[in-house]
Structure formats: structure tokens, C-alpha cells
Amino acid sequence: MTKILVADDLGEEGMALLRDVGDVTLKTGMDEATLRETLPGFETLVVRSATTVTARSLELADELALIGRAGIGIDNIDVAACTARGIAVMNTPEAGAVTTGEHALSLLMSLARKIPAADACIREGKWEKSKFTGVELEGKQLGVVGLGQIGRVVANKAAGIGMTIAAYDPFVTQAKAPDGVRMLDLDELLATSDFITVHVPLLKDTHHLLNRERLFAMKKGARLVHAARGGIVCEKALCEALEAGHLAGAALDVFEKEPLSADSPLRSAPNLILTPHLGASTFEAKRNVSLDMANQIRLAASKGVVLNGVNVAKLSPADALRAGPYMDLTGNLASVLTQTYSGPLVSLRLTVQGSIPASCHQALKVAMIVGALRPSVTGTLTPVNAERIAEERNVRVHLESSEMKRDFTSLLRVEALIGDTRHIASGTVLGHKHGRMVELDDYVLDAIPEGPMLVTFHRDEPGVVGQLGTLLGDAGCNISRMQIGTAKDHENALGVLNLSGNLADDKLEGMLSKVHDIDSIVSAHLVR
């Protein structure tokens, strides 16, 4: 049972699911120092937007392997520090997309018809109808900055009320844009749109993306909606653009500093609607975020698969279910190679053949690196930092796919250059869950590549298997499965024996020493 620390309110339904996964502790309202003192001993941390995870808060968290951000924004988590420590970070980008998109549209409509100001006027006992003449949305161009999950929700719903949709996203080509969405560069989008809505993450490259120059480059009389993350829009410059009358209005749900300070100039800026970060604040979104995060943590705990990873290879839920057994197999094949053959690891190559989706290939590559390096890495090694460690060790890593040349639906081939010699292990998955090693160098076999295993190269002659069985039995090691592989061009045979029973390290090492004393054994290796 994994130890889980929930640092923000997750909702009872999500908490109930988490309690089925592990030992759950709920402790909210922690500052950096308190979080730092609390984290030791926990393997999983769950946060929303209230808790900030800094490099310092992680310094004592030696057992922490996973941080789940219930929501989409990750600017409250030092992802670089997590990556350096091998901690996976994942979020729930889809759970709140509809709610946040609908809030952006609510701000858009309120802005177009000046609803908040009109409501305040009525409550003050006034009737100043002429002050609140608005504009229609039908036929107006909406410029969507960021065409991710939320941006697409906004674009789709805005098109439904008759707006024309243009978008800017450096990662989306026109061919991949939704029907009816015209992709523009940012400058053209700002200059031609009647309304701009912002839906990009807060990153180094997006901080003050809409600065003074770009705000004043917007079409005169345009209106801005910002419900993404504080810091993307320069608030000082926005006040200037509103006061100068260049922009007809703006609506903000997020701010550079939250809560918004009492003396913020935004509070007195003209034609500005302010809401207190309500983007994901609906009953449905809170429930969906809670359940999605709990289910993702359950999958990570049971299968080692990180959905919606921020600093690991991304997998969709459908791909994760399909790729899980292949990820285990890939790591095990690589580990067999680096524990069977001695010498420095120079390079790794993964060849994926068959029906495994291309969207899973990167995750399989990382699994290969973890499996290959695990026997030699004494510190923290996870899919998060495996590529960095391989690079530091000057291990070259390659990934390729090819057409099937064998009688398998899918086949994985791991090649490792160890010293001056290239070694190969190939495998497949039977019934979507049973991993098999079907080739080791030139030897053909059908072995389960799961440790502990004894791998022997021995002369192909009678009595060898019997001697091994007797020796292992005397050492208290049961042979749970055995495969013998042969190769046409070799006089030696390959033995792969899965072991169970009393398998303390000292007993295994003593057993291995005795195996080498058998005359017919050329070499023997323990694969853990």
C-alpha cells in the first residue's frame, strides 16, 4: 500500500478511491516549511492549486515518486526540481476543460453585454440603460490563443453561437486544427480579432506573452478574456490599454498574484470584469478532477503507468492499457541484456514492430533505458530521469519502427552495445498481458523475462539440467519455469531458469558460484 499525502481538498469521492489504493493522509494549508517537514515517508503527493511545491520542499522527500496535480495548471510545481529527483508529475487536463471553457464564454458574453456593470447599477437604485449598450457576438471574430483542450472547447462552443474562429498555437498546424478554425500567427490574430481569449499554460516563454506592445497591437476596440494562468497577460499594460480606450474591455479570472491585493490597479480599471479564479469551480469539474486523479494514481500504483505525465512520456488512457505489458517487457529485455553480458553499456536501440501504436513508442524507449540502467544505478532511477542519466553516462539511445518480419502480432527488439559486442533480446506479449522473451542473441526460446532468473550458457549434452536441478534444490531454490534454447551455429545451449523459494542474496551468490563448478557450464549469470 503506497503512502499518499493529499495537500489540498480533493473531494470525498476521490478520497474514497485513494483509500483503496494506499494509506491516505489529508493535510491542507501547508506552507513550504510545513510541506518540507511532512513529505518524508510519503510516496505520492496530491495537490490542486493552493499548495506550492518548491525545490526546497522536496529536499527531504527521498521516497516521493509521484506528484498528482488535480487540475491542468502546473505552475505551482517546480517540475525541473521534480525531474532532477526522478519524481513523476502528472495532471488531469481533460477533467476541467469544459468547465473552464464555459467560464471563459461566460466572461465573453458578460463583457459583450456589460452585464456585471448593469447589475451593479440596478442594485444601486439607478436605471441608466443608455450606459450599457453592448455588441453582438454573431459574425465577430474570436481569436483563441492556445488550441489545447480548453481552447478547443471555447472554439467549438463559440462557433455554435455564430462567431468566426481564428487561433494561434505554435504546435497546431492548419491540417490538425478543428473544422472551421483558421490558424494565424499571433500578430495577425491580435490585429484582426474582435475578441481574444487566452488558453496557454504559464511557462517561461508565455510569461507576459501579451505585453504592452502586443496589447496595443490588438485591434482597436477589441475585448480580451483571460481565464488561463496569471502572468500571461501583463496587468500593468492591460490597465494602460483600458484607460487609453484602446481596448473596449477585458475580463480576468486569473492574476499575477492571488488573491488579488486590495490596492491592485485592476480594481479601478475601466470596463474590466474580475472573477476570483473560478475557471474550474463547478460541482461537475471538482468531481471529475477528483475521480480522474484518484484513478490515475491507482493506475500508477498498480501498473507503473503515468497517465497525462508532464515530465514523462505521455500516454492516453487507451494507450496506457495497451502499452503497460509492453513497457514491462521492454524494461525486462533490456535488463536481461545488461545483467547477462559484462562490459560498459555504450548504446541501446529499440525496434518496435507490428501493431503497437506510435504514440506508445516514446514510453517504451524510456522503459528500455530504465531496465538497462537499473542494475548499475545506485541512486534514484525512474522514467523521469532515466534519459538524463543515460546522457550523462554517454549511452546513445535510438528508437525505430519497422514492418513485421516474424510471425507475431507485435514484436519488440532491444539491442545493446556492451563493450565491443552487440547483443539482442526480442520479445512479444501473449494475450495482452503475458510477456515472453523469444530470442536472446541467436538463441530461440520462449521464456518469461522476470527475475530472479539464472541464465546459463552450457554445452548441449545430457545431464546438465539434472545437475542444475540438484544444485538449486540443495540451495533452497525452486525452478518455477525452465527454457532451453539452441542455435544452429553454436555448440552451446542457453538455459533460462526462473527461480523461486528462499532467495536471499547471499544464498543466490553462493549458488551461482557452485553452478560455475559444473563442468558443462560455460558461463552463468543471475538476472534480478
Rounded distance, CA 1 to CA 493, Å?
42
Cis upstream peptide for 93 (omega within 30°): no
Q: Are strands 410-418 and 421-430 parallel, antiparallel or unpaired?
A: antiparallel
Q: Is the dihedral of CA 55, 58, 63, 69 positive or negative?
A: negative
Q: Cell numbers of 31, please?
A: 506552507
Alpha-carbon distances, residue 244 vs 68, 117, 280, 294 (angstroms): 43, 19, 32, 48
In the set 12, 128, 136, 258, the catalytic residue is: 258
Q: Cell numbers of 70, please?
A: 488535480
In the set 85, 214, 226, 277, the catalytic residue is: 277
Asked about 509 being catalytic, the answer comes back as no
**In terms of Cα–Cα distance, which of 100, 62, 55 is closest to 81?**
55
Matching residue, cell 481533460: 94
Asked about 229 being catalytic, the answer comes back as yes
**In terms of Cα–Cα distance, which of 88, 52, 54 is closest to 68?**
88
Rounded distance, CA 86 to CA 62, Å?
10
- The string of DSSP codes covering 40-80 is TT-SEEEE-SS--B-TGGGTT-TT--EEEESSS--TTB-HH
Asked about 256 being catalytic, the answer comes back as no
Q: Cell numbers of 307, please?
A: 497517465
- The string of DSSP codes covering 489-527 is T-SEEEEEEEEEES--HHHHHHHHHHHTTSTTEEEEEEE
In the set 48, 226, 229, 413, the catalytic residue is: 229
Strand-pairing partners, residue 224, are 196, 250
| Residues catalogued as catalytic | 229, 258, 277
